[in-house]
């Protein structure tokens, strides 16, 4: 078997490892962050959970860090009380990004990790089967239920050779995105192997695994080898190491190769992680901001290399250089190694340890300006500026651009500044920081803990079971690759509302059409939206399904879906239909009224649904890829209703 199949086989609860069929997996670790975790905790309360059944469950506070009013602070307090109540570890505000801290302190090769954040897949860099998904799936896994997913194919990527100077792990995953774009990984787990891995640290592997989700992959997997063992020894956790490797390279469904020696500095242009070109193609473009950090480049080396490039130099006069340390432990090691002082002297602005600008929580760029970021996403408006122009790049390219004031191929620094590439070697010893991690109390203590809810924290809305038929309006028609950032806006003005569905829903589809909320209120009988390929790519935020459902969305009609977005629609009782005939997508327009009949029978029997477009007097055929279990969830009106009815029985 390959390493992926070994992980799947050792955690298989139901189904068979046959591609395209639904399997149920046992989950060992649970990861939650605050922007999605408040809803998960409310779901656990709604389910009546006494205590998590996971081996390790951790609630992180890393997204909603700006406390411009009471709302984020109230969420932090609620999450701390809920963590104690349900038996979670609690990573306090300012302790760091969930994926980086989990790898430092909790990650174990050979374990499964399920997280309510799409970049949970970063844990694959440590030899885990780490999958991001919607909060309801995480809540059920925390309660001891299996996690259900369609068995993917395994794409083996053989790495050979050695990275050239000025090229790093970010360029490896950008090369993958150049090849596969944002939907080429759908239906796959990507497994990396080969001699080239010996030159990639565990943090390098984290960088590559993190952005596998930008290709639509279920997750990415790296072996657990001596490099992994070195990392765990560095973290004072060598006892957690186990070996995990593929038996041979014949064990993959598909295979490709990357010669590391051939790679050059790459960059993803606005506004998609898949728009990758060589840096030299866009060099000379004036830039106003560079942001270093995020879950996509969280390692000590990612900051140290920038520090070395900028040492004894000053950033360009019009440039803002924003530094987001990924964890408190990394922050401490940067300080004690003198790296932070060099960044400060060069003109860097030091921010909190957290996601910050990656999710639009501050650090929004100026209108009409260029921002380069070592982050994983650059979807339209995600930065907090609606007309943003965000590029994604390596720390080397970011540092070179900050220094020169324009997009710069870092290799040009050799001639421009007679600079030698700062080689990095992982230190054997680092300072360990666990002060901001609160362990769960005993079961007896936790039962007496009350959840602390501020005025902005509202209960979950109740939804009814599926109606057998309805007539609804088409409120929106969208193109391919619509992201969850476009379905539900990110940014510091919206994120504090994650615990208040009624208020949050007002931002549904705001980036695409600012009139959507008002029009949804006028569509009394409910509505549907139309989309092209790969609908709901990006974040795991289940609010992108929950809020439209709250506004009366009955179904989505799309050419295809991203994995997490598709699952979230099902979990909240929205039918994810797919067009049988592509021409039907072309013919439908906004304000069309569509009639659906006999839905319960058609779905239960696995038949296609014929819907009628009223004014055009036209029938359209729709299908779906729902499993028997998912059909029951849709019929019940969502996963919570389904679980409640099952518990009653």
Please give the average per-residue pLDDT across 214-227, as a whole number: 97
Q: What is the pLDDT confidence band of residue 645, given thresholds at 50, 70 and 90?
A: confident
Q: What is the tens place of the pLDDT at every residue in 132-187?
A: 999 999 999 999 999 999 999 999 999 999 999 999 999 999 999 999 999 999 99
Is residue 649 scored above 90 in pLDDT? Answer: no
Q: What is the tens place of the pLDDT at every residue in 404-445?
A: 999 999 999 999 999 999 989 999 999 999 999 999 999 999
Q: What is the pLDDT confidence band of residue 646, given thresholds at 50, 70 and 90?
A: confident
Give how far Cα 484 sits from Cα of 490, 540, 561, 564, Å. 9, 8, 12, 10
Range(s) for CATH 3.30.499.10 in the chain?
Answer: 268-416
The DSSP secondary-structure symbol of 125 reads G
How many C-beta neighbours within 10 Å does residue 263 have?
A: 17
Percent of the chain topping pLDDT 70: 100
C-alpha to C-alpha distance for 241 and 225, rounded to whole angstroms: 9
C-alpha to C-alpha distance for 472 and 520, rounded to whole angstroms: 11
Range(s) for CATH 3.20.19.10 in the chain?
Answer: 470-648
Return the pLDDT at 508: 96
Q: What is the tens place of the pLDDT at every residue in 276-319?
A: 999 999 999 999 999 999 999 999 999 999 999 999 999 999 99
Helices (H), 349-476: 395-404, 413-416, 443-446
- Pairing state between β 593-596 and 188-193: unpaired
**DSSP sequence for 76-97:** HHHHHHHHHHHT-EEE-TTSB-
Six-digit token pair at 352? 């909190």
Return the pLDDT at 495: 85
Surface-to-core class of residue 615, CB atoms within 10 Å of its CB (0-12 exposed, 13-18 middle, 19+ buried): exposed
Give how far Cα 406 sits from Cα of 377, 401, 414, 624, Å. 21, 5, 16, 48
Mean pLDDT for the chain? 95
Q: What is the tens place of the pLDDT at every residue in 3-24?
A: 999 999 999 999 999 999 999 9
How many C-beta neighbours within 10 Å does residue 44 have?
A: 24
Is residue 242 scored above 90 in pLDDT? Answer: yes
Location of structure tokens 């997280």: 115
Helix, strand, coil shares of the chain as percentages rounded to 5?
35, 20, 45
Return the pLDDT at 229: 98
268-416 classified as CATH 3.30.499.10? yes
Higher-confidence position of 113 and 47: 113
C-alpha to C-alpha distance for 643 and 636, rounded to whole angstroms: 9
- Pairing state between β 348-350 and 609-613: unpaired
Is residue 80 scored above 80 in pLDDT? Answer: yes
Provide the CATH topology of domain 470-648.
Aconitase; domain 4 (3.20.19)
Return the pLDDT at 359: 86
Please give the average per-residue pLDDT across 351-369, as a whole number: 91
Six-digit token pair at 502? 């009624």
Return the pLDDT at 459: 85
CA gyration radius for the chain? 24
Is residue 361 scored above 90 in pLDDT? Answer: no
Return the pLDDT at 215: 97
CB 19 within 8 A of CB 269: no
Q: What is the tens place of the pLDDT at every residue in 182-210?
A: 999 999 999 999 999 999 999 999 999 99
Return the pLDDT at 647: 73
How many C-beta neighbours within 10 Å does residue 231 have?
A: 26
Helix (H, G, I), strand (E, B) or coil at 588: coil
Q: What is the tens place of the pLDDT at every residue in 566-624?
A: 999 999 999 999 999 999 999 999 999 999 999 999 999 999 999 999 999 999 999 99
Is residue 360 scored above 90 in pLDDT? Answer: no
Please give the average per-residue pLDDT across 454-483, as a whole number: 94
604: Cβ contacts below 8 Å, ≥ 6 apart: 631, 635
């Amino acid at each position: 078997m390959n390493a992926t199949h070994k992980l799947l086989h050792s955690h298989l609860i139901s189904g068979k490892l046959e591609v395209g069929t639904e399997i149920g997996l046992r989950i060992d670790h649970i990861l939650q962050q605050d922007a999605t975790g408040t809803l998960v905790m409310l779901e656990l309360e709604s389910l009546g959970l006494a205590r998590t059944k996971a081996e390790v469950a951790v609630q992180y506070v890393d997204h909603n860090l700006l406390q411009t009013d009471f709302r984020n602070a109230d969420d932090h307090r609620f999450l701390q009380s809920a963590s104690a109540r349900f038996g979670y570890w609690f990573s306090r505000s300012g302790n760091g990004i969930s994926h980086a801290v989990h790898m430092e302190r909790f990650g174990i090769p050979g374990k499964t990790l399920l997280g309510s954040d799409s970049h949970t897949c970063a844990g694959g860099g440590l030899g885990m089967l780490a999958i991001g998904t919607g909060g309801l799936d995480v809540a059920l896994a925390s309660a001891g239920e299996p996690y259900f997913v369609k068995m993917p194919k395994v794409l083996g990527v053989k790495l050979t050779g050695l990275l050239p100077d000025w090229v790093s792990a970010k360029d490896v995953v950008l090369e993958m995105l150049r090849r596969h774009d944002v939907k080429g990984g759908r239906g796959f787990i990507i497994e990396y192997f080969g001699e080239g891995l010996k030159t990639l640290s565990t943090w390098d592997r984290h960088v590559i695994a993190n952005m596998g989700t930008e290709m639509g992959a279920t997750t990415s997997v790296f072996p657990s080898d001596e490099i992994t063992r070195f990392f765990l020894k560095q973290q004072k956790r060598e006892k957690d190491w186990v070996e995990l490797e593929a038996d041979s390279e014949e064990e993959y469904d598909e295979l490709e190769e990357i010669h590391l020696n051939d790679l050059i500095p790459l960059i993803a242009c606005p506004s998609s992680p898949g728009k990758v070109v060589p840096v030299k193609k866009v060099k000379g473009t004036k830039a106003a901001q560079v942001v270093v950090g995020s879950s996509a480049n969280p390692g000590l080396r990612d900051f140290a290399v920038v520090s070395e490039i900028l040492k004894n130099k000053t950033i360009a006069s019009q440039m803002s250089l924003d530094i987001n340390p990924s964890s408190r432990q990394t922050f401490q090691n940067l300080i004690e190694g003198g790296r932070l002082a060099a960044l400060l002297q060069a003109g860097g602005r030091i921010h909190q340890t957290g996601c910050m600008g990656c999710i639009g929580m501050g650090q929004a760029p100026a209108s009409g300006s260029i921002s380069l970021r070592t982050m994983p996403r650059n979807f339209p408006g995600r930065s907090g500026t609606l007309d943003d122009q965000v590029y994604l790049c390596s720390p080397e390219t970011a540092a070179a651009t900050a220094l020169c004031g324009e997009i710069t191929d870092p290799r040009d620094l050799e001639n421009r500044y007679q600079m030698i590439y700062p080689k990095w070697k992982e230190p054997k010893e680092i300072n360990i920081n666990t002060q901001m991690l609160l362990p769960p109390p005993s079961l007896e203590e936790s039962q007496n803990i009350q959840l602390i809810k501020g005025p902005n924290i509202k209960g979950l809305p109740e939804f009814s079971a599926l109606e057998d038929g309805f007539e609804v309006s088409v409120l929106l028609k969208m193109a391919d690759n619509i992201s969850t950032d476009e379905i539900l806006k990110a940014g510091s003005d919206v994120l504090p509302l994650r615990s208040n569905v009624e208020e949050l829903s007002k931002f549904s589809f705001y980036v695409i059409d600012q009139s959507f909320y008002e029009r949804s209120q006028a569509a009394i009988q409910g509505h549907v939206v139309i989309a092209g390929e790969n609908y709901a790519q990006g974040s795991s935020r289940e609010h992108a399904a929950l809020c439209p459902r709250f506004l009366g969305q009955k179904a989505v009609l799309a050419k295809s879906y991203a994995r997490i977005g598709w699952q979230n629609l099902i979990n909240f009782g929205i039918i994810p239909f797919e067009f049988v005939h592509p021409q039907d997508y072309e013919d439908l327009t906004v304000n069309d009224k569509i009639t659906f009949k006999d839905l319960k029978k058609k779905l239960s029997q696995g038949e296609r649904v014929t819907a009628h477009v009223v004014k055009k007097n036209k029938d359209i055929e729709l299908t779906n890829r729902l499993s028997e279990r998912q059909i029951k969830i849709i019929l019940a009106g969502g996963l919570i209703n389904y679980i409640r009815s099952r518990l009653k029985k």
